[in-house]
Amino acid sequence: MLLLVGIVLLLSACSGQNLLKNGDFETMDGWHCYGFHCELTNIKHTGNHALKVSGRTQYWQGPGQDLPYLDPKKTYKISSYVKMLNDIPGEMGQYIELEVAITFTDNSKTYMSLASYPRISSKDGFVLVESIFTVPQKSIKTANLYYQGPKAGIEYIVDTASIVPIQLDTNWRKESDNYIESHRKSDIHFKVTSDAGIDKSQVNIQITQKKKAFPFGTAINMGVYNHGNTKYRDFIHKHFNWGVLENALKWDLIEPKQGAADYATPINTIKTLRNHGIKMRAHNIVWSKGKYVPTWVQSMTGSTLRQTVHQRFIDIVSKTKGLVEHWDVNNENLHGFWFQDKLNDQYFNHQMFTWAHQVDPTVKLFLNDYGVVAQASSTAPYLEQALEFKKANVHLYGLGVQCHFVEDVAPNPTVLKENLNTLAKAGLPIWVTELDVGTHDENLRADWYETILRVMYGHPSVEGVMFWGFWDQAHWRKDRGALVVGNDVTLTAAGRRVLDLFENQWMTKESRKLSTAGSQFTVRGFHGDYEVKVTYKGHTISDQTKTFTLDKTSKTINIHVHQ
């Protein structure tokens, strides 16, 4: 675990007082420590004192404080420095989180993990645990903040804790639109000549974008795609330019018994999708949570386990070589450490990235995790992990951010932008890999997807957006996350809104009459593939039809109008 120093969310609009009493721990006033011991110590991060926590017998025991002023109308930044004082032999560090327990006035309850950090050891010194969060929009009866996570027997110090309200970014939409206009589009310069006698008022030039360059994709249920409703297939082919097989490449599903892997079906499915012009991500080579490790692998240790994992990389990456653009290497490896623990190798993730690159040097390799953009509990450690992988030079290309939004909670554009800005400090491309929201109200769902897509498309580090499904009959959230529903694959309000963005607002279709546009004019177009048609007196001049691809560089199109 690398020491996290000085990672600060650039919340330019932070305002208001700290909701925590004695967050500087110069006294213990306001803090409670039930069933364990707390005392002031001069081992501190700032000021004169910090709080030492000892005598814990349960992982959930940690100092806490009542929050009488938590406002459901506000968004907050929470932060605290934490230092582990001892380690457990054979373990690579401890997990800690800042959590709040809320009881609402209707007596319902919720527990929110606000900020977390994995694998902190005593050698790391003080580590900053921080995030931004939005309070559920319900009337609050009581709220209590507490630290939890390190195993029983671990002693630690906390210091410099704060919960501060932040101002919402009311200009986010304008800023997003400005970026889209300036960076997702380029100039198309037209130079037009004509034969003598041509009536310029009868010349029409039609500029039509046929395909978008920016990746808008979806997770694909292989069984439904191959054997289910053909309208599901047709919708994918018509409306998405990228795809990812939802589960079919995962190790425990493709090889449930050693040596009994079925590669043919997913590989053929990928080939079919590519034949329809859809580029493919691949998800995932391994998943470092025990329940997702094949059962026949779980008893392995030492060199046998290492060799078996290596063979998995050789097998699957070689078979997808030339067919997929991306691989998620070790899924959610901020939240799972099965291979590292089993092999007692803290940097085994680095080895796995190296293996993948050795098999296919052309495929782009990704980290992929949750709680990093849609929520912010793991944003800071994800940045630290990205910087660690960059420093190790193990061919990490980009950061996958899953973006499964909390049920019935509106996405907050301020939170999204700040989390993206934090991760952008890694200097790596960001892909939204698993996007969905959850609400029965399809009009709210439309609003929420639009907000998210505008923030993502309008951020300089975001290279692509993948929905985690779109049809209620092939979606883990059913109709609550769907763009289309029913056997007829009928568009919902959310689907209509998303397609309006994809295929109308963010596509270019322009027409110019030569008599008004002049012989030289410029059209600003979204990046992608284009066709230009010229008509004179209603008839197409076929030899002046132009096709081209518009990218970040402007394009000049020469046209000669003749009879």
pTM of the model: 0.93
- Residue by residue, DSSP assigns 393-448 as TS-EEEEEE--BPPTT----HHHHHHHHHHHHTT---EEEEEEB---S-HHHHHHH
Annotate 415-426 with b (16+ C-beta within 10 A) or e (fewer): bbbbbbbbbbeb
Q: What total number of domains does the chain contain?
A: 3
Region of 528 on the Ramachandran plot (φ > 0 left; ψ -120 to 50 alpha; else beta): left
**Do residues 485 and 533 share a domain?**
no
Q: What CATH code is carried by the domain that includes residue 114?
A: 2.60.120.260
Distances in Å between the alpha carbon of 494 and those of 14, 482, 540? Answer: 33, 8, 38
**Do residues 226 and 104 share a domain?**
no
Position 136 scores a pLDDT of: 86
Q: What's the burial of 106, exposed, middle or buried (CB within 10 Å: 0-12/13-18/19+)? A: exposed
Residue 371 and residue 401: Cα distance in Å, rounded? 8
**Do residues 513 and 405 share a domain?**
no
**Do residues 355 and 494 share a domain?**
yes
SS3 335: coil
Residue 466's identity, in one-letter code, is M
**Do residues 109 and 257 share a domain?**
no
**Do residues 224 and 332 share a domain?**
yes
Q: What CATH code is carried by the domain that includes residue 244?
A: 3.20.20.80
**Do residues 145 and 233 share a domain?**
no
Q: Which one, of 360, 364, 521, lies nearest residue 430 by Cα?
A: 364
Of 138, 166, 194, the one marking the end of a domain is 166
327, 317 in Cβ contact below 8 A?
Answer: yes
Is residue 48 situated within a structural domain?
Answer: yes
CA atoms within 13 A on the CB side of 90: 2
Give the torsion through C-alpha atoms of 161, 164, 170, 171, to 10 deg: -40
Q: Mind listing the pLDDT tens digit of every residue in the chain (563 residues)?
A: 333 333 333 333 445 799 999 999 999 999 999 999 999 999 999 999 999 999 999 999 999 999 998 998 899 999 999 999 999 999 999 999 999 999 999 999 999 999 999 999 999 999 999 999 988 889 999 999 999 999 999 999 999 999 999 999 999 999 999 999 999 999 999 999 999 999 999 999 999 999 999 999 999 999 999 999 999 999 999 999 999 999 999 999 999 999 999 999 999 999 999 999 999 999 999 999 999 999 999 999 999 999 999 999 999 999 999 999 999 999 999 999 999 999 999 999 999 999 999 999 999 999 999 999 999 999 999 999 999 999 999 999 999 999 999 999 899 999 999 999 999 999 999 999 999 999 999 999 999 999 999 999 999 999 999 999 999 999 999 999 999 999 999 999 999 999 999 999 999 999 999 999 999 999 999 999 999 999 999 999 999 999 999 999 999 999 999 98
Of 459, 475, 505, the one marking the end of a domain is 505
Is residue 118 situated within a structural domain?
Answer: yes
Of 105, 133, 166, the one marking the end of a domain is 166
Q: Which residues contact 93 (CB under 8 A, 6 or more apart)?
A: 1, 84, 87, 118, 119, 120, 121, 124
Identify the sign of the CA torsion 502, 246, 289, 341: negative
Phi then psi for residue 476, to 5 deg, are -65, -20
Is residue 30 situated within a structural domain?
Answer: no
Residue 258 and residue 471: Cα distance in Å, rounded? 34
**Do residues 496 and 516 share a domain?**
no
Distances in Å between the alpha carbon of 299 and those of 187, 308, 339? Answer: 59, 12, 12
Residue 504 and residue 494: Cα distance in Å, rounded? 15
N-to-C CA span, the chain: 72
**Do residues 157 and 267 share a domain?**
no
Residue 503 and residue 63: Cα distance in Å, rounded? 52
Residue 169 and residue 415: Cα distance in Å, rounded? 9
Active site residues: 434
- Domain interval for residue 74: 37-166
Residue 301 and residue 309: Cα distance in Å, rounded? 11
**Do residues 160 and 220 share a domain?**
no
Is residue 422 situated within a structural domain?
Answer: yes
Strand partners, 127: 82
**Do residues 427 and 499 share a domain?**
yes
64, 147 in Cβ contact below 8 A?
Answer: yes
Cα–Cα–Cα angle for 130, 348, 131, nearest 5°? Answer: 10
4, 381 in Cβ contact below 8 A?
Answer: yes
Position 7 scores a pLDDT of: 34
Position 73 scores a pLDDT of: 82
Is residue 81 situated within a structural domain?
Answer: yes
Residue 382 and residue 466: Cα distance in Å, rounded? 20
Is residue 556 situated within a structural domain?
Answer: yes
Q: What CATH code is carried by the domain that includes residue 524?
A: 2.60.40.10
380, 129 in Cβ contact below 8 A?
Answer: yes
Is residue 463 situated within a structural domain?
Answer: yes
Residue 24 and residue 391: Cα distance in Å, rounded? 34
Is residue 173 situated within a structural domain?
Answer: no
**Do residues 441 and 540 share a domain?**
no
Give the distance from CA 386 to its chain's centroid. 14
